[in-house]
Every structure is written in structure tokens, then in C-alpha cells.
């Protein structure tokens, strides 16, 4: 692919965690910045600069569309347009804290396009031209996860990371920079024929800062939108885990640059500082408890794809509905194994709260003695907890 084009795409790497911030101070600063923004409408020089971003973006978007085939999947296009424009509207009026890049509120006319193919990937060009692959949309488990990706790409454009990077790189050999970036951003090592370790490290450092800043702003946009910011976190967590264990997916950029633990921990710290609870059950199917009706009066509870317990009898469905709500709240807290127990009467207690009760009728249906049924129920819950703790990065 065209090297210059690749160089202008800014995608994933691993920033360091941020210290927690005080939400009130954070809000106050945002409002102060908003007041400054309103007072400082872009002057002529700035308008010209932003027009240059748009021109550059347009030029490379035409190249991108020669390189990639655009999707005609109407459902996907509609979904991306809706989520993208919701976030773009917010990005165009909301000053955000920025740690790397142009700190002013830059307004762009954002366009969102879907690219055919199974890559789990997305990229952003200057001026607000944003592309997302079909594969990523299939991999995402909710609108909130798609929103996390789009908010991140919007942030690169809004903070004008390409222009910013260009300024930073001006003191280096202008010809080697695009090559280094192309290598880093596409993970295609063969492109880096002439790079020294030093220049690679430098370029890596810049992209780490860009990623970190884009995540921070993405969180702020999502927090103002109706999309749960947990989606930003779970998308990173699932990618980092699946990238190691799933061969069937084409990881694109994420193959060599999976979002790492530090990036997820940084997002967790933004959420904690802003008082936004982490609710994985709301934004994924992997970390959600669901009810599946079985034969007759039997209903099955599952955590993701893992069966937890089956209820039998007249009240089975009502009991399951009640249990789902409590189990989701429990799992969302990412509890530790010792925090769950089962009483001799079959009541499962999680973090001192009753979650559900298994009955002799349930055991009878499973064709095992009640005592054995109690033990196997507890074991299933613990296995689900272990899986969750193993695949996620925060404890509450």
C-alpha cells in the first residue's frame, strides 16, 4: 500500500497509565476551557490551517478508497453513521482534556466509511475521514464498543495528531519518518529496511503519546454521549486477550500492537475519577449473564457461553430473571473467588448478597443429589469468576 498514506494513519499502541483525577476539578477545568473556546473563535490563520487538514485528509481518503473496497452492507453503514455522527456532534462542541496534540477545540465535518473485509481494524485521516472494517464491526459486542473505537479515531483527527507529529518530526530526515511510521502502524516489518533502533523508539514514543491522548479524549466524548464508556475498556481487554488466543481472526494493526494492560488501566482510572461504574454486562455478551429457556419448565443460566446452573419447576423463569440481574451486578464488580459461597439451603451468597437459591427440584431435574448439585453450582460460578478475572484487568 502507499507508504505515505499509511504514515498518515494513526492507530493503536500502548500508553502509560494516568494518575487519577478529581472529577470536580476536571469538570471545572473543562468549563473554563469551554468559556475560552467560545471567546476564541478560530481566526483566519487557524481556519486556513484546518482547511489544510481537510484537504490533506480528502487527498488521502481518495487513495484509501483506491486501496480498499468500501462496504455495501446497508445495516453496517447505517450503524456506523449513527454512532459516528452522535460522537462527532459532541466532539465538535466539547472541549476535552488533551495530553498530546492540538489542545484547541477543532471542528470538522466527519465522514464515516466501512471497508470490506475481516480485519479487526479502524483508522483516521486528518480532517475527520474515518474508516472502520467490517471485521471490527462483527467483532464488537455492542454499540458502546463500536463507539469506543470511533471516539478514539475522532480524537486523533480533532487533536490533529498527524499535523502535530509532522511538526515534531521536522528535525529528522523527512524521508525516513514515513517509513518508520508505516512499519509501526501496519506491523509490516519488511518496510523497515533502513530504520535504526533509535528512530524506531522515537516514533514509538510519539505514537504511544498519541494513543494515550486519543483514549483520554474518547472517554470524555463517550461520557458526554449515551454510549457507556465501559465499551472503550472492554474492547481493549477482549482484543488483548483474543489476539493471543484466537487464530481465526485477522487482527490487522492489532497483531503487533494489541492495546495493552496499561492502556486499559488508564481507561479504568478515567472512569473511576469521573465516578462512572464499570459495567461489562451492559456492553458485551462475553461478560453478561443470560437466561436460555430449555425443555419444559427448565431454564438455563449462562455467563457468556458458559452454562452456570439450570432451574426447574413452575417458578424457574421468574427465579432466573431475578438471578440474572443480581449475577450481572455481582460479576460487574469483578469479585474475588473467596467472595462467593453456597449455604446448606442452596442459597448462593456473593459479596454478602443473596444471588439466587437452588432447590431440591433443580437437583432432581439434574439427576444428582441436592448436596452434589449445590457444590457443582458453586463450582460453575467460581469458574466463571476465574475466567472473568483472568481476562480482565481491574479489581473493584
What 3-state DSSP class applies to 347? strand
- Give the shortest CB-152-to-Zn ion separation in angstroms: 6
In this complex, which beta carbon is closest to Zn ion, that of residue 157 or of residue 324?
A: 157
239 and 249 Cβ atoms separated by less than 8 Å:
no
- Give the shortest CB-146-to-Zn ion separation in angstroms: 15
- Give the shortest CB-130-to-Zn ion separation in angstroms: 11
Residues near 59 by beta carbon (within 8 Å), at least 6 away in sequence: none
In this complex, which beta carbon is closest to Zn ion, that of residue 86 or of residue 211?
A: 211
- Give the shortest CB-208-to-Zn ion separation in angstroms: 10
By Cβ distance, which residue is nearest to Zn ion? 11
In this complex, which beta carbon is closest to Zn ion, that of residue 10 or of residue 177?
A: 10
**360: number of Cβ within 10 Å:** 13
How many residues are listed for the chain in this entry?
396
In this complex, which beta carbon is closest to Zn ion, that of residue 121 or of residue 286?
A: 121
158 and 100 Cβ atoms separated by less than 8 Å:
no
- Give the shortest CB-155-to-Zn ion separation in angstroms: 8
In this complex, which beta carbon is closest to Zn ion, that of residue 130 or of residue 320?
A: 130
295 phi and psi angles, rounded to 5 deg: -80, 145
In this complex, which beta carbon is closest to Zn ion, that of residue 11 or of residue 377?
A: 11
The pattern of x and - marking residues 180 through 219 that bind Zn ion according to CB under 5 A reads -------------------------------x--x-----
Q: Check residue 11 for interaction with Zn ion (CB under 5 A).
A: yes
Q: Which helix (H) or strand (E) holds 122?
A: strand 122-125
CA neighbor of 119 nearest in space, from 198, 1, 16, 201: 1
* Angle, helices 143-158/161-169, rounded to nearest 10 degrees: 40
Judged by CB under 5 A, the number of residues near Zn ion is 3
**Residues in touch with Zn ion (CB under 5 A):** 11, 211, 214
Amino acid at each position: 500500500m502507499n507508504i505515505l498514506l499509511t504514515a498518515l494513519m494513526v492507530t493503536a499502541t500502548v500508553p502509560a497509565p494516568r494518575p487519577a483525577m478529581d472529577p470536580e476539578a476536571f469538570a471545572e477545568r473543562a468549563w473554563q476551557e469551554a468559556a475560552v473556546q467560545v471567546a476564541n473563535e478560530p481566526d483566519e490563520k487557524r481556519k486556513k490551517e484546518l482547511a489544510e487538514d481537510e484537504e490533506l485528509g480528502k487527498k488521502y481518503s481518495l487513495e484509501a478508497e483506491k486501496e480498499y473496497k468500501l462496504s455495501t452492507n446497508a445495516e453496517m453503514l447505517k450503524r456506523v453513521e449513527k454512532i459516528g455522527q452522535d460522537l462527532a456532534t459532541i466532539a465538535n462542541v466539547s472541549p476535552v482534556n488533551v495530553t498530546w496534540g492540538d489542545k484547541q477545540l477543532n471542528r470538522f465535518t466527519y465522514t464515516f466509511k466501512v471497508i470490506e473485509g475481516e480485519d479487526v481494524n479502524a483508522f483516521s485521516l486528518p480532517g475527520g475521514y474515518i474508516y472502520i472494517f467490517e471485521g471490527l464491526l462483527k467483532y464488537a459486542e455492542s454499540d458502546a464498543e463500536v463507539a469506543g473505537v470511533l471516539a478514539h479515531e475522532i480524537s486523533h483527527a480533532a487533536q490533529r495528531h498527524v499535523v502535530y507529529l509532522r511538526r515534531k518530526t521536522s528535525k529528522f530526515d523527512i524521508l525516513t519518518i514515513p517509513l518508520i511510521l508505516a512499519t509501526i502502524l501496519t506491523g509490516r516489518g519488511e518496510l523497515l529496511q533502513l530504520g535504526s533502533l533509535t528512530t524506531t523508539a522515537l516514533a514509538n514514543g510519539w505514537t504511544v503519546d498519541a494513543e494515550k491522548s486519543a483514549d483520554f479524549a474518547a472517554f470524555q466524548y463517550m461520557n458526554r454521549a449515551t454510549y457507556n464508556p465501559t465499551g472503550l475498556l472492554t474492547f481493549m481487554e477482549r482484543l488483548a486477550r483474543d489476539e493471543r488466543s484466537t487464530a481465526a481472526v485477522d487482527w490487522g494493526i492489532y497483531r503487533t500492537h494489541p492495546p495493552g494492560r496499561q492502556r486499559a488501566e488508564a481507561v479504568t482510572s478515567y472512569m473511576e475519577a469521573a465516578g462512572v461504574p464499570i459495567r461489562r454486562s451492559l456492553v458485551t455478551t462475553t461478560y453478561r449473564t443470560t437466561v436460555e429457556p430449555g425443555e419444559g419448565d427448565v431454564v438455563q443460566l449462562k455467563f457468556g457461553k458458559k452454562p452456570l446452573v439450570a432451574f426447574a419447576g413452575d417458578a424457574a423463569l421468574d427465579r432466573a430473571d431475578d438471578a440474572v440481574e443480581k449475577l450481572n451486578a455481582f460479576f460487574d464488580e469483578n469479585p474475588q473467588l473467596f467472595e462467593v459461597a453456597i449455604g446448606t439451603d442452596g442459597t448462593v451468597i456473593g459479596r454478602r448478597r443473596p444471588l439466587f437459591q437452588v432447590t431440591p427440584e433443580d437437583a432432581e431435574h439434574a439427576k444428582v443429589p441436592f448436596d452434589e448439585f449445590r457444590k457443582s453450582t458453586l463450582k460453575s460460578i467460581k469458574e466463571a469468576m476465574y475466567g472473568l478475572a483472568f481476562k480482565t484487568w481491574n479489581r473493584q
